[in-house]
Structures are given as structure tokens and as C-alpha cells.
Structure 1
Amino acid sequence: MILQQYPAWIFFVELESPVSDLTVLQLEIDYIQLGSYVDWAFNTITGNIFNDNNGDCQFNSTDNPVKHSLVKALPGPYYAYTDENGFYELKVDTLNTSYTVSYTTDSEATLIEKICPASGMYSVSTPKGKSTYCCHDFAQKIKQCAVLKIDINSDRRRRCFKGFTYVNYQNVGNINSSQAQIKVVYPEFVKPISSTPAWTSKVGDTLYYTVGLVAPYSQQTITIIDSVICGIESIRSLTQCTQAMISPANACLYEDIDWNNSDVIVRGKCDMGIAKFTILNGGSGDMPDSTAFRVYTNDTLISTQKFALRSQEYFQVQLPAYGKVIRLEADQSANHPAFNTIPRVSLEGCVTNQALLQSAYKGIAMNTPLNNDFVSSTSCMQITDSYDPNDKAVFPVGQSERNYISAGTKLNYTIRFENTGSDDAYTVVVVDTLDSDLDASTFLAGSSSHSYSIKREVIDDREIVTFQFTDINLSPKKVDSIKSQGFIKFSISTRPDVANGMLIENEANIFFDYNSAIVTNKVSQTIGEYIEEKPELGSIVSKTPVNNITTGLTSKTNTKDLILLYPNPVSESITIKFPRETIESTINVYTIDGATVLTQRLGAVKESRIILQQLPQGIYYYSIADSSGLNQHGKIIKQ
């Protein structure tokens, strides 16, 4: 067992009788464990992890180091992380003389082939104490693919106060990703003020960034200053979610996965107290078998129904909210890539007017997981009027007063800190002792307000993660409240075999320079299934017939009257050709969740052209109508 290590001196004082002088024997000890025994005979296993670009299994200048990868030794377990150069230094005990050393990476598993050693693990003998066992390198080969990832996190949502939202994006693949676009969608009561870099365009509450080229293994951050609105006290405690999406999609990840290429997408919005949801098969394949969707009010299941959709088919579900939190979730087809197995949307604060927000149910949207995957990330926080400057939060919170979560649930932890002292804080250290029922192999460091280094160790069978922010230079709050704050975010899953009833608890210690630790609040959740059903309430749920967004022809539209749009996919402009000269018509272009991004009058012409160059890549839908009853809608793919 490797214990917490502190360089130390031990002094032996020998007193003679009578005491005529004092003899001090000085002995240097390598490391001392406070409150336990001295463990000075540890061993160290070292090596590198790298992407082997030339296939020779030798780490050289043509290869790329794999940083922040977790190395594990058994029995133990013992952990280490690779540094910026792909190097790891793993300390193990001498009570065992043989260890199995393996590693995990945060890159998508379908991209990686472990080639040296082919098993992805070493058997390392450590016959002597206090020795270094070198050069246990791991070489891997990565599929030629650009893989974009995005992560979003906000520091606080305080009414009438400014805050920061950080959007971190990276390419974890090994080739360039060109023409990358980012979309950030803000909630109703939080408004973006400015960002670095500046957004390319803004449509309503949606920010668009034309990122362009994202090089392999590169990472960038967009920093947005935003603010919760003032003047409406009833929004206090309301959950506000900010979503970031990056395109193009990582299609190469799923080329070898055996599934039907269907992709269930769920969208929702509140319309004057009515919760309205759209369930769409946005994939290129049909759903051969039915799956289920479920509707909840305040975490109580009221309706379960089956559905099956062809490619690009959709239907809508709606019900009165009555101020409750309405959640709809829908299942994917079998073997769908695991990144998004249960699409779900929660609508909170859905009332007929803002005066009723005071009595609406709030915070329940924080109870269940989100749809985060590689190309989509959502950050949800409740609006407050005051806050603890140094705290810890977990998402999902869990259901009911006991915060029930299922075994294997991925937990997203955020630790926030603020310099409330009288001088600058030059170094901040966050020490987090993980619950023993969390699965260390799933740990993944996330976004942060400032750059940091990370250390992982095991002490008394407890896993400890240390985040160190060197030269962070946080201003005192009384000097600059915005620049006095910071945060770190990480995710980790509970072990899948944790028994029901077990409590998952977590807190952190925050050190500002050489000051004593500030202990955060403790967050806790209970392993178990929370199921409350009231099917008798399901009669308020209504469902529309299935529609197809690809053709979108109304009963008044003959095939000979079909309007042609080309080219489609489109990169700059699209031509609209009518079957005959029409009276004046209008085209509306909108996103999949119903937000209108363009409205243009086309005039009484037979052919027209609209510019779409300003729109980010993605799927859009259009409708064209005139007063004669001509009405056509369909899909536009923007390249």
C-alpha cells in the first residue's frame, strides 16, 4: 500500500544522567506516513503511452504522446496518470512482487487498437524494494479519423449577477477536422453578454461559432460572460440548462457498429403551460422494431407507449404541465452506440404566465442524467440569490429525498472555489477523496476555469485526486468578484455491482496557498431504483399521427406541383424552382427543435435563390407556403 508521503526528519534525543550535555542523533527518513507506519521500501514502475504512427512499437519523434491516461496496477489497485509527455510513474508496494499493469484512455474505444503489447497489459516482477522498473511502454494505433468532443460548464447562476460559461472543445482523433461549427443554446432567463473569441452570429438565444480547422490532439476554450436577468424574483431555484453542440458529427466512430442506423432524437418546449415534445428518427435507417417512450410528472411515471419510426419520421406528444416538471424519455433501437442510449428532455417552469412561476415546481430537472455525448454537452444549474463561495455539486442529483441513482450511473462533479481573502491567491489545490464505491477506471477530468495539473494516488484504500492550479492568481473577491472565482469538473461512474441502499458520498478540500483547508459541503446519493407510477394520470397525454419531414407534402400538393430545392446538401446558396409562376410565397427555415433561423419572401416568380452560407453545418427544415394553398416542407442539409 502506498501511503501519503511527507519528506521528514526524525530526531533522537539521548539524555544522560546527570545531564551534562545533550546529544542529538539526526537520521533522514525518505518518507513518513502520518498516523501509521513508515513505508520507505516502495517500488516504481515507469513507461510511456503513445500513438505509434510508424508501427515500430518504439517511442520516438514521429509518435504522439498520450497524456492524462490512467495506468493501473493490480493487486492494489495503484494508479498513476501520464503527464504532458505521455510518461507515467507508478508507485507500488513491496508486499507483492508481481503486478499486472494496464491502462485506459479517454479516447473513444472504437478508435484504438492496442498493439504493443497486444494484450494491453504487462506482468511486472518487483523482487527488490526501493527500485525502479523501467520502460513498460504501451503503443497504440488509432483509426484515421477526426473526433470532435465538446464540454460546457458554467460557474454560477446568480440572479442579476454576471458569470462565466466555458466551452471546451478538442479533436481527440488523429487527422484534421475542417469546417467545425459550434452552437451554444442559452435558456430563457440567462443572457450572453460577450465572449472570447467573439461569436460569429447570434440568432435569438443561440450563439454560432465558425471554428474552422481543429488540429489533432488540440484543445481550445470559448469563454462567455453571461448574466441571469433581474427583476423576476419567481425564477429563484429554477433550473436553467445551457447546451453546446459541435459539428460535423463523428461518423467514423460508428462505421463498424452493427445497428440499424436509426437515431431517436427528443426535443421539447413549453407553449403557454402546455409541454410539447417531438420524437424524431433523425438517423438514416428505419426502426424495424418498436421501442418505448415514457412521460413523467415530477418523477412520477404516468404514461408508457410504444413507437417505431422510419428514417426522418416524427410525431409529437403533449400534455398540460400544471406547473409541474414534465420529462419525456425514449429508448433507442438495439445496439445503438452507447453514447446516447436514453434521449430525454425535462421541461421545468412550464406555466401559462410568469406570475405562476412562484408556485411552480423547481429543481426536479436536476434529478436525472442528461444526453451528453461526444458532440453535445449540457450544463444545468439552479438560479440562486446567494451561494456558498466554495462548494461541490453533483449531477444528476438523484430522485426523491434520498437521491436515488442506479448502479453504474455516470456522475458529474463540479467543485467551485472563490478567493474571499484580502490578497491574491497564487496557487489553489483541490483534494478530492473518492468514495470507495466509485469505479476508478471511469474517472475522466473535465473542463475547468484555469489550467491545472492532476495527481492520482491511493491512501488507506481510498482513491485521492489532487488538482493543482499553479499561478492561478485569483483576485480577492472585494477587488474583482468575477476574477476571484474558479472551478474544476470531473466525471466518474459508480461501480455496476454496488448493492442497493449503499450511500455514495463525496466532498473536497480546497487549499488557497498555504492556508488551512476549506472543506466543501458533502453531496450524497443512494444506490437504488426509484419508481412511482400513476398510470391513471396518463389520459392527459396526447400523441399526434406520424409525419415525414423528408417529403412533407400536404394533401393539396400533387407530385407534379412539387417544388424543387437544389443543390441539397448545400454549402452557400440554394435554388428554389416552382412548377409554375406563383403568387407571392414565403419560405421559413428552422432548426430541429423549432427555432426559426430564416424567413424570406420569395415574390411572384418561378425561380428564386436564398443564401444559407451564414448557417452552421447541420440539418434544417423548411416550409414554403402561399395563399393559394400551396404548402410544402422538407429537409435541408447544410454542409
Structure 2
Amino acid sequence: MQLKVNDLKIKLMSKRMLDKSATFFNGLMRCIFTWLVFSVAVSQVNAQGWDILFGGNGEDQAYSVIQTNDEGFIAVGFSQSFSGSDPFFDFNVYAVRTDVDGTVIWAKPFSEDLSANVHDYGYQVLETEDEGFLIVGALIENNSRNVYLLRIDKYGNVLWKKTYGTPEFEETGFDIVEAKDGEGFIIIGLTSDPDVGGSSDILVIRVDGDGSEIWTQTYGGPNRDEGTSIVALEDGFVFSAISKEDDDQNNNILLTRIDSQGEIVWSETIGEIGVGEEVRDLILTRDGNHLVMVGASNSLANSMVAKYDLEGDEVWTTEIDGESRLNDVVEIKGGDFVACGYKDVTPFKQAVLMVKVDFETGDLIWEKSIEGNIRTKFAEGLAETNEGGFIVTGYNSLSDFTAFNDVMLIKTDENGDLITNHIIGKVYYSTDGCNEYEEGDVDLKDWIVKAESDNATYFGTTDENGNYDIRVDSGFYTVSLLTQNPYWSVCNVEFTIDFNTFYDTTSFYFPVEAELDCPWLTVNVSSDEVVVCEDFTYTVNYANLGPVTVNDPYIEVQLDDELEFVNASIDWEALGGNLLRFGIDDVLPTNKDTFTIDVAWAEGCEDVQEDQAIVISAHAYPDTLCLEPGPEWDGSSLAVTGVCDQDSIRFYVQNVGEVAMAEGVTRTAFIVEDQIIFNMEPIEIEGLEPAEILELPAIKANGSTFRIIAEQSIDHPGYNYPTVAVEGCVEEEGESYSTGQYAQFPENDQDPYISIDVKEAISSNSPVILRGYPRGYQDSIITPTTDLNYTIVFQNLGTDTISRLVIRDTLPAFLDRTTIRPGASSHPYDFQIYDNGVLKFTFEEIQLLPGSSADAALTRGFVKFAIPQLPDNPLGTIIENSAAIYFDYEEPVYTNVTRHFVGCLDFLDEEEGCITVDTDGPTIPGLEIKVYPNPFNETVTIEIGGGYENEEVTFNLFDITGRLLRSQQFIGNKYDFNRNQLPSGLYIFKLESSEGKQIGSGKMLIR
């Protein structure tokens, strides 16, 4: 290959560096430098995004980037770093694929022979219909250069590769597009005769879908002509090229339209004689009526954006002053154009240049420069992201001693801004106090670090080595570590940092020490959706989040009566009554583990109703907390139980503490029937001795779901919340009963060593769903102190095994991101919370089988997490949440939106509580009012027993706010009411005589 000597300035300005890159000697060895953290402010700020570097010890460059089907990105170029023979002379096509956050999924070199002196380069990439990619560039082998077309699948596996050209000429492909007629692709580049120095022609090659050549055409004059970009029309193509003038060394721009066979329709030379211009990219506008190109003008002193019609006539041209050049352009969704390239900051330093110009006029809207502390940043490729920002690729230099270094990937917001400052450090536990980090200290994983300013808050999560990295905007920040529980204390609670520049980094280590020398044993249990009569598996996660080992631990699991135990992944002991005990090994500080329980439905599962609650509880022992109780705790501890006893429901309150309730202290309890407070007056609990049981009056079974909620002893240690529900209790076997009411309220599992999982039985699985628990009173009402549990369920409905799955949940602003608790899951995951509170679960090597698999359970998975609300959420707060699920490289699938409404301060408050008080029963002695079926779908019967006949009755129906919805008259003792499009929910009815006297009232639930 002929070597050419050019000055550094020309090298830096040439986008197509085939000859020059192959001969450039990189004299410095360096380590792989990959920067990766993502941060966006909680409040509305201008900048967001990230800046990531990829590469190795050699020269690494990228020229093209696109956003992929899965909302991630792929950047393509070439690299010296991964050659097996000589890292200073062998170049390979290099592709980096990331997810939407910039996390590397794979990064691969591609070459005909990694161990030989073979060079191949990638200059453009496009995504194919099957979610794979085509990469076009050049292959140099045995001193012969040809156009190189590489076809890879979405995993980065090579499907095929083709070369085009002849041994006598040197050919390079710079751009590729898909033909509009559906018949393959079109490649543009250059071809040159090595024996004729300085001369080349434009090369256009049309290939079919398999890469087989259909036709090849060359265009140009006696001097150097280089095709740079091409767009597809319905009946042909338009390409741009650089064409050298006859009389001097200046370039002009050539714009040429050809038909589907490559015959010229028209060709226009653009530029002034004696003034150099270059074009680097060409696009067709979305409306198909215009062409837009970018490059350099004014003897390459200015960058340029120009708009032309399809006849080659100029509409407008915009020049951006300064030593700069634009290399790529996109039309954004709003209709304007954004382009990227570089500009000279100094003669020896270049920065990324981004500009936005108006669609109609070409007027400059904004111009942005991305510099950093490094010497050089070149932008070569650009794409608009789905969220309205931009992804930019190129390359950079880290020092004055190297021209180029790493592949660069920059994500910006819609204004071309990004955040570049870093706060990094480590979180660790030193058993000998608040000392500097040393060997033997415990790295703390999944701890959350917060950086907060007056108008923005950023989060980061520690990795398996205890390291955190938060990217923040400029400004003054207070950085703090959030402890996982009260057993830890932070040696240096917080520090402050003032960033008054960009691309700055500060480091701070957080040593923590034991506040209490106690274990903090946690347990969490959950499952996939519960489908009637289908076997399923529970996952039990447990962890010691305290500083001291848990000795002789075990976990007791109580299964629902509708279930039968089948097997477990660890040893177990049956204690009777569907209660199981699982012995586990001692749990060291910060360690965690998991086991599974396989269950089947008990006999008669076909009688289980839709939305019936299936409940499992897990209780980890030892279950003592080292927390000091409040000063007013009397030593008592209240617990509640409930049973269905033949035709009655019985609730009990017991003092399970070691001390009697203090004299004069009264706690209250309420009983809720479906959605109505059953007892008009609160139940008073007082004077209970240790182990003493208060039996409440029996409640006649009528198919409603009854729940007792009691106040715990004042200043009780921990988070105990006495409540229990009884569902499905009827007077006679076979009678219908209400369902869907159990999950309205939280269960008594706020203490870390207890987990209660409530699932409502369904008839069939949902492929993707987000469940919020508790669901909320009626349909969504919660108090400001209600913690929320979310379970995300997913299923592979595709035809291929899923090897990687990612869940992203941008948490609602009303939830406390600092105290999130990741829980049980079907598969191992990595947990992160970053940016303004984006929650990310990554399941590597999940291996979800295709939906057609015989074992449906292996096609599905789930993950559960809990999160409190922010303190003092005001009444009226609406908390809506949803998540995006990324199955391998597929388009993300979005879950449903869950909704919770902060509707009252306290469910049990007699004056300001939000639970509807029960209405009176029959007001005339001897009468009995029956409502059946209740709940109902379309029609319900109201029957008045006790001799009430042949008199006119008025039926009034109200919603739960007291608004009258229906008023109808009937004669007799029986009335059939039809819902007539009434929405599902709880309603109140009243019956009045013809004299206006109330006969009775009640409630009905429409499904």
C-alpha cells in the first residue's frame, strides 16, 4: 500500500482515514478507560446524558451510530486494540452495542484474520429488519483494498461478509442505505488506481439482501472524486460527493441523482471556483421533498448546512463561522435539523460541535461545544434518540502525545447539553472503627449515595466492590450516604463539593461502623401470578443487613389453605397445618441467599373464585430487634387473629407482650366489611394481661371479606401493625362470596423479619404486568404512611430464548428512593438506582425459554420491591407507576400503570378516616333484607323478608360519596336491579316506604 505523508491538521480534518489511520503509530500503551454512570436531576434541569469511552491499548475510532430496536445504541468504527498479532499495525472493524443507559452489552472486533496483518474498517451501520446489522467499510489484505460489507446478527455474530472490487483498484465503502423498492441496498464510496496518484472516482454498488452484487457504477472526472453519502428515493437515489477542481487543489461538492439502475438523471456541482467545500453527509427530509447536506465551506474554514430540492436547486445554505466541520445530520421529530462535527478550540485542541438549524429558513437556533479536559474530541456520527435527545459518536485524545485514543459515545438532551462532573468513592465497613480503607474491610453493595443541591438531586448505587459513581451538573452539592437500617452509622455523615466547571471529578470514601452490634435479618417472599389450578413456585429471599452474624437462623413459611406443598430447594420440616420450617446456615453480615418452594393447588381448586386471595407468610428467626422502644411503651404487644368458624367469623386480640397494658391506656380497633366499617363505634382494647385474649363478638358469615385493624401499643418497638383478614366465609357451603377486597389494605409485615405476600387468583397469565400492593381502599386510596410493594411479572412470548432482560422503572417523585428495598425474584438480578431515581433490574443469563415451550413456568419471571412514600405527602397526591421491560434486543414492552391516591391521613380516624361507615340494617322490626348475588355482574335481587308485601317501595342507589345515582319504585317484596352501564365499584342502597320512612339500607358491589 502506498504511504502518504500529510501534516497532522489534514489528518485531523479527514473523516475517511483509511490510509492515514493504518500508518499512524501510537507510541503509548494505555489501559482501557471506560467511564459509565448516568445522572439526571430530580427537578427540571437543562442538561442530562452521559459521556462514555470505549477501547483498548491501540487506536480506536467510531464513525457511525444508531439507536437500535431495543432503544439501545450501536457504534461502529475500527480498532487497533484487539488484534492478535501487532497492536500497532492491525486494524479491525469494531462495534460496541449498549443498552439505553449506555451499559455495554457487547463490544467486538471483526476481522478476516485477527492474527494476521489484515486491516478492516467500518464506516457506516444500519439495522436490518431481523434486528441484525449491516456494516460497510473497507478490507485491506495483501496490499489490496476492497469494499467490505459485514452482516452480523443482534448478538454480534457474523452471518456473512462480502468484498467488492478488483485487485487492480483500491475501493472503499463509506455509506449504505436500503433501497426503497425493497430490493437490497446501495453502497457509495470511492475507487482509485494506485498507479495514478491523487485520482479516484465515485463508486456506487447495488447489492441484494444477501450481499450479492447487482450492478456497479463509477462516476467522476480526471481528478479526485469521493462519494460520501447516499439517500434512497422511490425511483432511484441521490448521492453527495467531494470533487476536486481542475485548476487547483480545492474541492467542490457534487450532488447527483441516479435512477434505480445507476444512470444519471442530473448532476450539480456546488461551490465557488478557488474556494474549497466538502460534503460529509446527506439526508432526505421526512416529507421526501428536500435534501439536506452538511460539511465544510469557505476553504474549509467554516462548517456548513445546506438544503436543496430534488432537482438540485438550492433552498438555503447556512455557514457557521470558525474553524469547524460538520460530519453528520439528522432531521428531528420537530422538523428542524441537528448536525454534529468538530471545531478548533485552539490549534491543538478540537471539541465536539453540535448545531441546530431551522427547517424552513436554515437560521441557526443554537450552537453547542463539548470540550472536556482532554485534548481532542471529534464527532463523526449522530442519531436522534426516542426521548428527543441525541447520541453522538466519534473519538478523542487523552493527551498531547497521541492523536486519537478511544471510541466516544455521548448522549445529550434535546438542547445538546449533558452532565459531565463525577462524584466517585467507596462505601465500606471497617470492624475496627472509622479508619481508612484497608485490606480486609467489607465492601458494601447496594448502598445508596445521594448528591443534593438546591435545585437537583442525584443518586448512585454501590457495586459489588462498594464503589459508587454519580454524575452531576455544576453547582454546590451535599453528598450523603443513606444507611440501610438503624444498626449502622456513617463515620462522615456528609461532605460538600462545589463544581464550578465541567468534566471535573472528586472522590470521597464513606466508612461505616456498627451502631448496634446486632444482626438485621430480613426475609421476602413472592411469586409469579397465581393462576387457578396451575402449579407455581414461591421464591424466598433472606439477608443479614446488620453488622453481626445471624446464628442458628430458620424461616417458617405458612402456606394458604388452598395450596399443597410439593417440594423445596433446601431441607424442610413440616410442622402441620401447612406450616413449614426451613433451616438455613448462619448468615454473615451483608450476606444474602434464596430458596424456592414448589406448590400445587389443593383438591377442589376449580372452585377457587376469580380474585380470591392466596396468602403466604414467611417469618425469619431470630426475630428480635435491638431498637430501643419509645419512652411511653408499657411493655405490651397486641396481636390479632381471625378465623371462619362454621357460619361465623371470629376475631381475637391478644397481648403477646410480657407486661400488661398500662392502666388507663385504651387502644382501638375497627372491623371492615369489604369496603365498609362494620362496627359503628370503635372497639376498645384495654387492661389485657400478658397472654390474655379478648374475643370479639362473632360476626354472622355472609360471604363478605372482613378485616380487623387495631392500634398497636404506644411507642411499640419496630413496625408492628396488627391486622388480619378473613375471606370466603359463608353461612352455607356453596354460597357465593366477595373477592377482590383482601388486598385493599397493607398486611402486618412492616418488620424486616416478616413477609406476607397476597396474590389474587386469576384464570390466565398476563405476559407483562405491574402489581401495586396494597391495591388501596376501594380502588386506590392509601394514607401518607402506606409503604408500597410492586411486583413486576414478565413472560417471553417470542420464539427465541431470552438471555438478558432489563427492567427500568422511573420511580414516581412521591416515593422515597433512598429507602427502596429490592426483594424476591424468580432469577438472580443486579440492582441499581441512579439518575433522578431510575430503578434498574438487570437479569444477565436469565435464559427465559420461548413462549411455545412445554414448560410454561420456564418462560416467565418476576421481581418484587418495596418502597415507602416521601414523608408528608399531602392529601390528594396521586402516585402512578409503570415500568419498561427489555427482552434481549427487542423493543421495550411497557407495563400497565398502577395508581394510588393519598386520600386520608389515617384509616382509623373517627372523624377524618376514609373508610365508609356501615349503613343501618332494617329499621322495621321483624324485617330481613337480602341482596344476592353480591358482588354481581349485571343483575342483583333485593328481597324484603318478614311479611312486607304489596306495598310501594322506593329504591335509591348512591355512590360512596353519597351522590344519588338511581331512584326507582317497585311494589312487593322483591326487586331485580340491573346495573345498566354502572362502572364497577361499591354502592350504597336505601329502601323507603311510600310514606318516606326508611325500611333499610345496605351495600352492593358491582364487578
How would you bin the TM-score normalised by the shorter chain?
0.7 to 0.9
Q: Secondary structure at the match of 2:858?
A: helix
> Which residue of 1 is the match for residue 915 of structure 2?
531
> Which residue of 1 is the match for residue 48 of structure 2?
3
The one-letter amino acid paired with 1:316 is: E
Q: Secondary structure at the match of 2:567?
A: strand
> Which residue of 1 is the match for residue 734 of structure 2?
355
> Which residue of 2 is the match for residue 396 of structure 1?
774
Q: Secondary structure at the match of 1:277?
A: strand
Equivalence map 1:356-395=2 (5 Å): 356=735, 359-372=736-749, 373-395=751-773
Q: How far is the alpha carbon of 1:42 from its aligned partner?
A: 1.5
- Structure 1 residues 139, 171: closer, same or farther in 2, change over 3 A? closer
Which of 874, 887, 896 is residue 521 of structure 1 equivalent to? 896
CA distance in 2, matches of 1:388, 1:182: 31
> Which residue of 2 is the match for residue 490 of structure 1?
865
> Which residue of 2 is the match for residue 332 of structure 1?
712
1:478 aligns with 2:852: yes
In 2, are the aligned partners of 1:32 and 1:38 still within 8 Å (CA)?
no
Q: How far is the alpha carbon of 1:101 from its aligned partner?
A: 0.5
CA distance in 1, matches of 2:772, 2:889: 28
CA distance in 2, matches of 1:278, 1:370: 16
> Which residue of 1 is the match for residue 639 of structure 2?
265
> Which residue of 2 is the match for residue 153 of structure 1?
526
The one-letter amino acid paired with 2:538 is: T
Q: Secondary structure at the match of 1:232?
A: helix
Rg larger in structure: 2
Which of 160, 163, 176 is residue 536 of structure 2 equivalent to? 163
The one-letter amino acid paired with 2:667 is: T
Which of 646, 649, 666 is residue 275 of structure 1 equivalent to? 649
Q: How far is the alpha carbon of 1:9 from its aligned partner?
A: 6.1
Of all paired residues, the percent bearing the same amino acid is 26
1:443 aligns with 2:820: yes
- Structure 1 residues 214, 338: closer, same or farther in 2, change over 3 A? closer
In 2, are the aligned partners of 1:299 and 1:327 still within 8 Å (CA)?
no
The one-letter amino acid paired with 1:156 is: E
CA distance in 1, matches of 2:502, 2:743: 50
**Could you tell me the TM-score, scaled by structure 2's length?**
0.50
In 1, are the aligned partners of 2:427 and 2:443 still within 8 Å (CA)?
yes
Q: How far is the alpha carbon of 1:274 from its aligned partner?
A: 1.5
Which of 709, 713, 724 is residue 345 of structure 1 equivalent to? 724
**Could you tell me the TM-score, scaled by structure 1's length?**
0.77
Structure 1 spans left out of the alignment, 5+ residues: 540-639
The one-letter amino acid paired with 1:65 is: D
> Which residue of 1 is the match for residue 296 of structure 2?
none
Q: Secondary structure at the match of 1:177?
A: coil
More moved, 48-57 vs 391-400: 48-57
In 1, are the aligned partners of 2:460 and 2:468 still within 8 Å (CA)?
yes
Q: How far is the alpha carbon of 1:531 from its aligned partner?
A: 2.5
1:411 aligns with 2:788: yes
The one-letter amino acid paired with 1:51 is: Y
In 1, are the aligned partners of 2:451 and 2:478 still within 8 Å (CA)?
yes
CA distance in 2, matches of 1:381, 1:51: 38
1:137 aligns with 2:510: yes
The one-letter amino acid paired with 1:387 is: N
More moved, 529-538 vs 487-496: 529-538
Q: How far is the alpha carbon of 1:503 from its aligned partner?
A: 1.9
CA distance in 1, matches of 2:655, 2:699: 21
Q: For 1:280-306, what per-residue CA distance to the aligned partner results, in whole angstroms no more than 9, with x for missing partners?
A: 111112211111111111121122121
Q: How far is the alpha carbon of 1:121 from its aligned partner?
A: 1.0
> Which residue of 2 is the match for residue 434 of structure 1?
811
Q: How far is the alpha carbon of 1:242 from its aligned partner?
A: 0.5
> Which residue of 2 is the match for residue 505 of structure 1?
880
CA distance in 1, matches of 2:434, 2:619: 38
Which of 672, 680, 683 is residue 305 of structure 1 equivalent to? 683
CA distance in 2, matches of 1:209, 1:410: 28
- Structure 1 residues 51, 45: closer, same or farther in 2, change over 3 A? same
The one-letter amino acid paired with 2:48 is: L
Q: How far is the alpha carbon of 1:438 from its aligned partner?
A: 1.8
- Structure 1 residues 42, 5: closer, same or farther in 2, change over 3 A? closer
In 2, are the aligned partners of 1:242 and 1:380 still within 8 Å (CA)?
yes
In 1, are the aligned partners of 2:48 and 2:413 still within 8 Å (CA)?
no
Q: Whose relative contact order is higher, 1 or 2, with alpha carbons under 8 Å and at least 6 apart?
A: 1
Q: How far is the alpha carbon of 1:263 from its aligned partner?
A: 1.2
Q: For 1:254-279, what per-residue CA distance to the aligned partner results, in whole angstroms no more than 9, with x for missing partners?
A: 47876222111111111223111221
In 1, are the aligned partners of 2:411 and 2:418 still within 8 Å (CA)?
no
1:316 aligns with 2:695: yes
The one-letter amino acid paired with 2:764 is: S
Q: For 1:369-394, what per-residue CA distance to the aligned partner results, in whole angstroms no more than 9, with x for missing partners?
A: 11112121100001111121111001
The one-letter amino acid paired with 2:799 is: S
CA distance in 1, matches of 2:496, 2:413: 33
Q: How far is the alpha carbon of 1:244 from its aligned partner?
A: 0.7
In 1, are the aligned partners of 2:434 and 2:513 still within 8 Å (CA)?
no
> Which residue of 1 is the match for residue 466 of structure 2?
86
1:74 aligns with 2:439: no
- Structure 1 residues 223, 194: closer, same or farther in 2, change over 3 A? same
CA distance in 2, matches of 1:538, 1:492: 44
Q: How far is the alpha carbon of 1:537 from its aligned partner?
A: 6.8
In 2, are the aligned partners of 1:72 and 1:80 still within 8 Å (CA)?
yes
CA distance in 1, matches of 2:874, 2:409: 38
CA distance in 1, matches of 2:495, 2:624: 32
1:189 aligns with 2:568: no
- Structure 1 residues 138, 9: closer, same or farther in 2, change over 3 A? farther
In 1, are the aligned partners of 2:532 and 2:608 still within 8 Å (CA)?
no
More moved, 323-332 vs 295-304: 295-304
CA distance in 2, matches of 1:125, 1:9: 36
In 1, are the aligned partners of 2:533 and 2:606 still within 8 Å (CA)?
no
> Which residue of 1 is the match for residue 974 of structure 2?
none
Q: For 1:185-229, what per-residue CA distance to the aligned partner results, in whole angstroms no more than 9, with x for missing partners?
A: 111212221110131234131111222523322212120111234
Structure 2 spans left out of the alignment, 5+ residues: 1-40, 42-46, 53-61, 66-227, 230-239, 243-251, 254-268, 272-276, 281-326, 328-340, 342-377, 380-391, 393-407, 905-913, 924-1007
The alignment covers a number of residue pairs equal to 525
- Structure 1 residues 296, 256: closer, same or farther in 2, change over 3 A? closer
CA distance in 1, matches of 2:754, 2:879: 27
More moved, 361-370 vs 307-316: 307-316
Equivalence map 1:192-207=2 (5 Å): 192-207=565-580
In 2, are the aligned partners of 1:47 and 1:135 still within 8 Å (CA)?
yes
> Which residue of 1 is the match for residue 428 of structure 2?
50
In 1, are the aligned partners of 2:524 and 2:754 still within 8 Å (CA)?
yes
CA distance in 1, matches of 2:550, 2:921: 49
> Which residue of 2 is the match for residue 548 of structure 1?
none
Q: For 1:314-361, what per-residue CA distance to the aligned partner results, in whole angstroms no more than 9, with x for missing partners?
A: 111231231001011111121112411x310011111245412xx211
CA distance in 1, matches of 2:799, 2:771: 26
Q: How far is the alpha carbon of 1:136 from its aligned partner?
A: 3.7
The one-letter amino acid paired with 1:439 is: D
CA distance in 2, matches of 1:337, 1:150: 19
The one-letter amino acid paired with 1:39 is: D
CA distance in 2, matches of 1:538, 1:343: 32
Q: How far is the alpha carbon of 1:247 from its aligned partner?
A: 1.4
> Which residue of 2 is the match for residue 467 of structure 1?
841
In 1, are the aligned partners of 2:424 and 2:505 still within 8 Å (CA)?
yes
1:210 aligns with 2:583: yes
Q: Secondary structure at the match of 1:178?
A: coil
Q: How far is the alpha carbon of 1:457 from its aligned partner?
A: 2.8
- Structure 1 residues 438, 231: closer, same or farther in 2, change over 3 A? closer
More moved, 527-536 vs 78-87: 527-536
